[in-house]
Amino acid sequence: MLPNLAIADAISRDTKVFYIGSRDGLEADLVKRAGIPFEYISVGKFRRYFDLRNFFDLFRIPVGIIQAWWKLGRIKPQLVFSKGGFVSFPVVVAAKLRGIPVLTHESDAILGLATRLIAPFADKVLLGFDIDCPRGHFVGNPIRKELLKGDSKRASKTCGFDGKRKVLLVMGGSTGSQQLNKIIESEKKELIKHFDVVHVTGQGKGKITRSPHYYSVPYIHEMANFLELASLALSRSGANALAELQTLQIPTLLYPLGAGSRGDQFANAQSAIKSPLFKIADESKPALAQLLKLPARPAKHLKNDALEKIVKIIKTYL
């Protein structure tokens, strides 16, 4: 959802932006922090496994459509921009019923279920990867511009590091990764012999801790500083995290989400390893040995103009 905030910030100078989302999770807090009016609706989710909640969530979807229809009638937008996810589906359907144009953006290297459901209602499907899709238009994955202006010294001071070692950044998304957390727990003693470690454990997982050569925190709001500090990273391969790591040229050992997933993270990782800065982890081997084989971080960033492309398309509807 952070790319949504980057897009909202880029167009809000001359356009009124409203955000419709879910009451649960970090979404509402982050949107409100950005000063964007936030509306929430009922959200139904389809899980790729047997769960009684799938049955009850079927009834939440039409409720969400009705709520979105009323909210769109009050807001009267000229365009609905969707970034995928199941909260988007009711809003997109309601927009179609009201005759409001819809743009949607798929971040991953394969189309998600939400995007496949939304696509028939959308005027255009903007794509983070160059893949086949009806009405698809490749633009890339946007990142927040402030990520290019990080202050590594501030991050180092927060962690209590002296700047003499390479810094390993471990992150598993906003909610964290149990697998990555277990890897760090099991290899921490060896890792801190080689690196200063910044471990983002995930919202609701752990608390802020500091010890020699190790700093853990559930969530980081000023991520730009820590990305600038990082010499290398250990990460999942979600599309948005990858876009940031690729743009900032941070060598990364990738642990794609595996069992129970739709394969999007593995597809994302397969695309990323076209660059020598990225490697898919061999999960049968210790992470440390694989991290030590990663190349040094280049001094320059890659160009990422996805945000400009998306904003340009949005403004053709306003």
8 Å CB contact between 103 and 131: no
**Res. 24: pLDDT tops 90:** no
Helix (H, G, I), strand (E, B) or coil at 105: strand
pLDDT at 224: 96
Share of the chain above pLDDT 70, in %: 94
Q: How far apart are CA 239 and CA 135, in angstroms?
A: 21
What CATH class is the domain 2-138? Answer: alpha beta
Is pTM, for the whole model, over 0.95?
A: no
**C-alpha radius of gyration, the chain, whole number:** 20
pLDDT tens, 57-107? 667 788 899 999 999 999 999 999 998 778 899 999 999 999 999 999 999
pLDDT at 56: 64
Q: Are strands 252-254 and 209-211 parallel, antiparallel or unpaired?
A: unpaired
pLDDT at 6: 87
pLDDT tens, 233-273? 999 999 999 999 999 999 999 999 875 567 899 999 999 99
For residue 188, which phi and psi values (nearest 5 degrees)? -55, -45
Query: 73: which 2 tokens?
Result: 């009638």
Q: How far apart are CA 125 and CA 138, in angstroms?
A: 8
Mean pLDDT computed over every residue of the chain: 90
When pLDDT is cut at 50, 70 and 90, the band that residue 5 belongs to is confident
Count of all residues that appear for the chain in the document: 318
Stronger pLDDT, 122 or 207, i.e. the higher one: 122
Helix 239-247 with 264-272: angle, nearest 10 deg: 10
> In the chain, which residue ranges form alpha helices assigned H by DSSP?
2-11, 27-33, 52-75, 88-97, 113-118, 152-159, 178-191, 223-229, 239-247, 264-272, 287-291, 306-315
pLDDT tens, 128-147? 999 999 889 999 999 999 99
Q: Residue 252's closest CA among 283, 289, 290?
A: 290
pLDDT winner (highest mean) among 15-24, 25-34, 54-63? 15-24
The CATH topology of domain 146-291 is Rossmann fold (3.40.50)
pLDDT winner (highest mean) among 18-32, 145-159, 162-176? 145-159
Q: How far apart are CA 138 and CA 315, in angstroms?
A: 17
Ranges for all domains in the chain classified under CATH 3.40.50.2000: 2-138, 146-291
Helix 306-315 with 2-11: angle, nearest 10 deg: 50
Residues 6+ apart with CB under 8 A from 307: 6, 7, 10, 142, 143, 145
> In 76-161, which residue ranges form alpha helices assigned H by DSSP?
88-97, 113-118, 152-159
